[in-house]
Amino acid sequence: MKLGRMNHIGVATPDLDASIAFYRDVMGATDITEPFVLESQKVRVCFVNTPGENGPNGEPTAGTQVELLQPTEADSAVGKWLDKNPLGGQHHVCYEVPDIHEAKAWFEGLGKRVLGEPRIGAHGTLIFFVHPRDMGGQLTEIMETPKEAH
């Protein structure tokens, strides 16, 4: 298992538009993507881009994102999570790996519960989740590093 960069922190919200306004007006975010619906996870999603460190020539690099998630159906994984956490808040963390299938085999070999087969996530690359009870209480998303990032 080769741990890559932390790609994003998933934050669930009952009101995506209100959360976008919060990150813009309270947190000072200036780069927030247009929301879109991710049917496979029954969520409306957008990303708050935080700046990374400057590159060798002072150019900005990509920082970690906050993935804002609003369920499109109450009867969905994020919808049920919001029932227990009505204000919303941190839902998962997502780490990149170079090879999604190798990572899945690694976690399964350690007896960790991988939730479903790798599927296309919000960044257009394969992802899977590992059960929070096997991960110190943290729902963990594993995502294959986007190829254009290399």
Give the residues across from 81 on adjacent strands.
none
Distance between the two ends of the chain, CA-based, in angstroms?
19
User: What are the DSSP calls for 70-83, one per residue?
Assistant: EESSSSSHHHHHHH
Q: Which of 46, 66, 94, 100 binds Co ion (CB under 5 A)?
A: 94
Q: Which of 10, 97, 126, 129 binds Co ion (CB under 5 A)?
A: 10
Q: Exposed, middle or buried, 79 (CB in 10 Å: 0-12/13-18/19+)?
A: middle
Residues 13-72 close enough to bind Co ion by CB under 5 A: 67
Catalytic residue among 73, 141, 144, 148: 141
Q: Which of 141, 142, 144, 145 binds Co ion (CB under 5 A)?
A: 141
CB of 9 to Co ion, least distance (A): 8
Q: State the catalytic residues.
A: 141
